[in-house]
């Protein structure tokens, strides 16, 4: 029985009492995939997780895509037919407003049926990188400058009007 000889130390006790390879295989399948009902419940939970995906304003594209692909890969492992196009269409609805400048052109001008998830991820990462270059808004810069000027005069506090009082 090849199955027994290839089993690791953690798996062997589960199948050691099986009288045939078929019984050992069935035991392993039940342990690791679960019976049909358990599998269906897991699929339902994963489908819900997929449908509820939404990127938070403070979340990075990389972290969000890791979370998305984890759910997508689990769904596919459980036999869910989930083509890239459906994942991409879902993703385009998940991003916050600050990504509209990249999402709208993709929706309007790209052929989503021929697009790969990696291509979408690359576009989103490039957009995020551009946005991060301009993160310091003029207002934030003004406060930083005001703090520097006020401290330079020896006052040690920030004035709301910039005149020290």
Domain ranges of the chain: 33-133, 137-165
pLDDT tens for 114-139 read: 999 999 999 999 999 998 887 655 55
Give the dihedral sign, CA 69/73/75/81.
Answer: positive
Is residue 88 a contact partner of residue 48, using CB atoms and an 8 Å limit?
no
Residue 12 has pLDDT above 80, yes or no: no
The whole-angstrom separation of Cα 49 and Cα 15 is 33
pLDDT tens for 135-157 read: 655 555 555 555 555 555 554 45
Closest CA to 61 of 105, 16, 26, 102: 102
């Amino acid at each position: 029985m090849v199955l027994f000889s290839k089993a690791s130390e953690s798996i062997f006790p589960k199948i050691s009492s099986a009288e045939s390879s078929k019984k050992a295989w069935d035991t392993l399948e039940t342990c690791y995939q679960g019976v049909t009902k358990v599998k269906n419940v897991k699929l339902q939970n994963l489908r819900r997780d997929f449908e509820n995906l939404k990127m938070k304003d403070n979340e990075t594209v990389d972290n969000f895509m890791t979370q998305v692909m984890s759910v997508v890969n689990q769904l596919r492992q459980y036999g869910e037919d989930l083509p890239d196009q459906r994942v991409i269409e879902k993703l385009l609805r998940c991003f916050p407003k600050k990504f509209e400048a990249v999402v709208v052109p993709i929706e309007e001008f790209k052929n989503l049926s021929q697009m790969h998830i990696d291509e979408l991820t690359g576009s989103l990462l490039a957009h995020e990188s551009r946005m991060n270059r301009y993160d310091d808004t003029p207002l934030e810069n003004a406060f930083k400058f005001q703090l520097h000027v006020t401290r330079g005069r020896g006052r040690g506090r920030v004035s709301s009007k910039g005149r020290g009082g």
